[in-house]
Amino acid sequence: MTALRLVFALLACLLMPSLAGAQDLTFRGCTDASGRAVPSRVDESLPEVVTTVVEQGRFTLLYNPRALPGISDPARAFLYAHECARHNLGLAREARTVENAKQADCWGLSTLQRSGLLRGEGDVAALQSELVFTPEQWQRIPGPNRGFELASCSLQAKPAFTPEPGWDMCVHKCGDRLFHCGQSQSCLNTYDACVAGCGR
């Protein structure tokens, strides 16, 4: 496995799309600025596409794959990647500003590019053209209301920490086990313990 794929598996919101189609796109593998797992789960009662809540004293990403049914899989993945990037870049406790939202947009974009979900300038341009929302839609996506400037983002964005190769491999193996185990709390607890055992 290439180092690039390992970095993606570790840092990014590891995107694992279901074969069932757009309405069943699922996500796993978000980490915070210290490399700790940020749990994610589906909540179809959620009015937003994705948001962060605090559950039992820890951040959790909630997403609704049925919110805004008109947006594409890449746009839905981008919005999730943006929210994950807030954790990865250490912004989750900060107020949402246009400045830090754009920072998370760029890191989320680079996540999708590293994953191969977006290939080339054409895919980025297509995503950019889709990211135009009405005031009503902005109530369902990570704000604040802003213009997206994806063409100005650079793949040179740096993560909030630099993982060691052995730690990369260990965390990737933990993620593989989580993927096969499922999304139950028991599986997430096992994943958290596995990552904690990887050391730093």
Say which residues have a Cβ less than 8 Å from residue 147's Cβ, sequence separation at least 6: none
Question: Is 181 domain-assigned?
Answer: no
Residue 185: alpha-carbon gap to chain centroid: 19
pLDDT of 154 reads: 72
Nearest residue to 79 via CA among 111, 122, 32, 121: 111
Question: Is 166 domain-assigned?
Answer: no
pTM of the prediction? 0.69
pLDDT of 169 reads: 73
Distance (Å) of CA 8 to CA 31, 54, 55, 132, 190: 11, 25, 26, 27, 21
Question: Is 175 domain-assigned?
Answer: no
Total number of domains in the chain: 1
Beta strands 26-27 and 15-16, pairing class:
antiparallel
Rounded Cα gap, residues 109 and 117, in angstroms: 10
Question: Is 60 domain-assigned?
Answer: yes
Range of the structural domain that residue 80 is part of: 10-156
- Give mean pLDDT in consecutive 10-residue pieces for the chain, a chain of 200 residues: 33 38 59 90 95 93 93 94 95 94 95 88 94 95 93 61 61 74 77 73
pLDDT of 160 reads: 42
pLDDT, tens only, 34-64: 888 999 999 999 999 999 999 989 999 999 9
Nearest residue to 32 via CA among 92, 76, 81, 80: 92
Q: Are 29 and 175 in contact (CB under 8 A)?
A: yes
Question: Is 108 domain-assigned?
Answer: yes
Question: Is 194 domain-assigned?
Answer: no
Say which residues have a Cβ less than 8 Å from residue 111's Cβ, sequence separation at least 6: 8, 11, 12, 13, 15, 81, 84, 85
pLDDT of 12 reads: 39
pLDDT of 165 reads: 60
Nearest residue to 15 via CA among 121, 122, 114, 143: 114
Residue entry with tokens 């990369």: 168
Question: Is 90 domain-assigned?
Answer: yes
**Six token digits for residue 55:** 């559950």
Question: Is 93 domain-assigned?
Answer: yes
Residue 145: alpha-carbon gap to chain centroid: 19
pLDDT, tens only, 80-91: 999 999 999 999
Q: Are 139 and 47 in contact (CB under 8 A)?
A: yes
Rounded Cα gap, residues 126 and 74, in angstroms: 9
